[in-house]
């Protein structure tokens, strides 16, 4: 009887420890948008996140989507607990973190890194939460550049009256087109390259990583180029309903994601290096000011329209001014 009792205790103990172990890991799902599907780099990044999340007690089931609209609507419908989307989409859930892509706000990767690191600080968790939603991670997706069929248009003023292939749902771009006095050629991700390459638009915009796959060189050659002045920083973000995750999960997740900055950027940097030097259009300092001023005008206008969150614009201005204290904007209080 005593032996039986001991055996029962051992079995019960073993069962309990297994039970407790299993209870420590919870199952969650993530909708992942990657234009190349499960073979793409974003999906690979999601898999790294999946492995890391296991160490935090979350077993993530990943689902790849090649159409961001579908990924977004599935997340909205509650079909997954979190979603890996572009910041443009995340903005509709978390206004603050989605504003990091604001036009011309972060002209270098160092500034983007600083902003992402600052936003991963646990002290500013509220800048990552909005209602039921929380941004759990931010990754760089590459700077977006202006591509021109004619390199003589290198001053932003020269774009007046020109046609620019513009994503219709991209409010920043449509406002920009409006401000510079250009005209918009409505485009989708699937169509803008063709429009630019066929000459139906004088300019378009793209991150370097899209240039080769979309054959944008055809549009640039022989007389055009790529303006080396980032219009904005594309970012990928993971957004979630925070009630589905333990308290503090967001802070842990964001802190880890900030350490992945270089790994996420390596392909972008390679793509930028592969662009032949002759295609880069260097913008002289005085013309850079023109770009900067126009971009700022757009940011302020979009902030007033409640597209960009004022606090994030303020943070990004501080980041810029910490790198260049002498800049004219640091003396005023517009952003």
Q: In three state form, how does the secondary structure of the chain look?
A: CHHHHHHHHHHHHHHHHHHHHHHHCEEEEEEEECCCHHHCHHHHHHHHHHHHHHHCCEEEEEEEECCHHHHHHHHHCCCCCEEEEEHHHHCCCCCCHHHHHCCCCCCCHHHHHHHHHHHCCHHHHHHHEECCEEEEEEEEEEEEEEEECCHHHCCHHHHCCCEEEEECCCHHHHHHHHHHCCEEEEECCCCHHHHHHCCCCCEEEEEHHHHCCCCCHHHHCCCCEEEEEEEEEEEEEEEEEHHHCCCCHHHHHHHHHHCCHHHHHHHHHHHHHHCCHHHEECCCHHHHHHHHHHHHHHHHHHHHCCCCCHHHHHHHHHHHHHHCCCCHHHHCCCC
Q: Which is nearer to other proteins, 31 or 315 (CB)?
A: 315
Phi then psi dihedrals of residue 161, to 5 deg: 80, -5
Q: Which is nearer to other proteins, 28 or 269 (CB)?
A: 269
Q: Residue 319, interface with other proteins (CB under 8 A)? A: yes
Find the shortest distance in angstroms from Cβ 115 to other proteins: 8
| Number of residues binding to other proteins, judged by CB under 8 A | 21
What's the chain's length in residues?
335
The span of 83-91, 140-148, 253-261, 277-285 binding other proteins (CB under 8 A) equals 253-261
Position among 117, 155, 170, 329 found at the interface with other proteins (CB under 8 A): 117
Whole-number Å distance between alpha carbons of 83 and 237? 8
Q: Which is nearer to other proteins, 146 or 265 (CB)?
A: 265
Residue 130's DSSP bridge partners are 133
The span of 73-81, 98-106, 194-202, 315-323 binding other proteins (CB under 8 A) equals 315-323
Q: Residue 314, interface with other proteins (CB under 8 A)? A: yes
> Which residue's structure tokens are 């219709």?
168
Q: Which is nearer to other proteins, 72 or 233 (CB)?
A: 233
Q: Which is nearer to other proteins, 25 or 259 (CB)?
A: 259
Measured at the CA of 98, the angle between CA 94 and CA 103, to 5 degrees, comes to 155
Position among 63, 91, 95, 114 found at the interface with other proteins (CB under 8 A): 114
Q: Residue 73, interface with other proteins (CB under 8 A)? A: no
Q: Which is nearer to other proteins, 180 or 313 (CB)?
A: 313
Find the shortest distance in angstroms from Cβ 198 to other proteins: 34
Binding mask 256-275 for other proteins (x = CB under 8 A): ---xxxxx--x--x---x--
Find the shortest distance in angstroms from Cβ 318 to other proteins: 5
Find the shortest distance in angstroms from Cβ 263 to other proteins: 5
Position among 26, 38, 118, 300 found at the interface with other proteins (CB under 8 A): 118
Position among 26, 62, 124, 179 found at the interface with other proteins (CB under 8 A): 124
Find the shortest distance in angstroms from Cβ 312 to other proteins: 9
Q: Which is nearer to other proteins, 267 or 287 (CB)?
A: 267
Q: Which is nearer to other proteins, 152 or 322 (CB)?
A: 322
Tally of CA atoms within 13 A in the half-sphere of 222 that contains its CB: 0
Q: Which is nearer to other proteins, 212 or 218 (CB)?
A: 212
Residues within the interface to other proteins (CB under 8 A) = 114, 117-118, 121, 123-124, 127, 259-263, 266, 269, 273, 311, 314-315, 318-319, 322
């Amino acid at each position: 009887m005593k032996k039986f009792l001991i055996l029962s205790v051992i079995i019960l103990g073993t069962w309990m420890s297994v039970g407790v172990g299993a209870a420590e890991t919870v199952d969650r799902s993530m909708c992942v948008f990657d234009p190349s599907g499960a073979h793409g780099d974003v999906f690979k990044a999601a898999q790294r996140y999946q492995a890391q999340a296991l160490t935090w007690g979350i077993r993530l089931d990943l689902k790849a989507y090649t159409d961001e609209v579908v990924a977004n609507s599935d997340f909205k419908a509650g079909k997954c607990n979190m979603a890996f989307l572009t910041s443009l989409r995340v903005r509709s859930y978390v206004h603050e973190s989605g504003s990091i892509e604001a036009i011309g706000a972060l002209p270098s990767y160092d500034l983007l890194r600083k902003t992402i690191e600052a936003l991963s600080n646990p002290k500013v968790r509220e800048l990552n939460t909005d209602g039921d939603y929380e941004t759990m991670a931010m990754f760089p997706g590459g700077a977006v550049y202006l591509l021109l069929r004619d390199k003589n248009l290198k001053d932003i003023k020269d774009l007046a009256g020109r046609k620019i292939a513009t994503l219709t749902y991209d409010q920043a771009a449509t406002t920009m087109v409006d401000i510079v006095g250009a005209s918009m050629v409505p485009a989708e991700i699937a169509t803008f390259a063709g429009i630019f390459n066929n000459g139906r638009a004088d300019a378009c915009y793209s991150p370097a990583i899209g240039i080769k796959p979309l054959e944008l060189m055809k549009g640039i050659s022989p007389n055009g180029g790529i303006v080396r002045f980032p219009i904005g920083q594309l970012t990928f973000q993971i957004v979630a309903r925070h009630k589905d995750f333990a308290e503090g999960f967001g802070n842990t997740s964001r802190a880890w994601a900030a350490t992945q900055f270089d790994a996420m950027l390596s392909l972008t940097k390679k793509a930028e290096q592969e662009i032949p030097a002759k295609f880069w259009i260097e913008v002289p300092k005085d013309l850079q000011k023109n770009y900067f001023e126009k971009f700022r005008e757009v940011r302020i206008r979009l902030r007033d329209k409640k597209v960009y969150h004022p606090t994030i614009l303020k943070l990004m201005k501080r980041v810029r001014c910490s790198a260049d204290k002498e800049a004219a904007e640091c003396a005023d209080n517009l952003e």
